[in-house]
Amino acid sequence: MTDLSRWLDPTTVLTTEEEARTAGRGGAAGAFLQAAHGLLGALIIAVNVDGYLAQLRRVTIAMYGEGTPVGQASLAMMTPTMVYFTVATSVVVALVYAVVGWVQWRKPNVIIPLLLGLFTAYGVLSVLLSVLNGKFAQIQAPVWQSVLGVVIGLVSLVLFYNGFRGANRLSKLRQEAVA
């Protein structure tokens, strides 16, 4: 339970190397959480390829019109191959997150949680801004999936912040020990 509180509580004081390492591993937990969410999204698309294509076509027609050249070209590109490519890309990105999470777990550093935190913040802000701009209806994901993504994103942001904070403190404690 102590590990979880160090991962999720950004106010925890980090006084020892072990506490700092534990907090630094929070960044790894965030990466693993993002990887799991990406695999879930890929699975949802993979089990419903036809439904996903139909939804993409509806959004494309609403955005560009069925008879316009852009609409026709977009609709012509929407094939099951495109969906499988999307699924494969999602799986590869999830694997990259898992590998990066493993690296962060083994040797906490500040770069990984910083970069993943920025990517996650961008994703969360994109969804929230699309809601504010009234463009939410054009998002292909169901509402529950978008809400789940925002919640997972916010939890991951806390984990990435603590991972950054813990790795930074760990580095400072090690420098102080050498000096």
DSSP structure string for 47-69: TTHHHHHHHHHHHHHHHH-SSSH
Distance CA 2, CA 66 (A): 57
Short-list 155, 150, 170, 151, CA closest to 31 = 155
The mean pLDDT of 10-34, rounded to a whole number, is 91
What are the domain boundaries of the chain? 27-173
119, 112 Cβ separation under 8 angstroms: no
Rounded average pLDDT over 57-79: 86
Q: Is residue 139 over pLDDT 70?
A: no
Structure confidence at residue 141 (pLDDT): 67
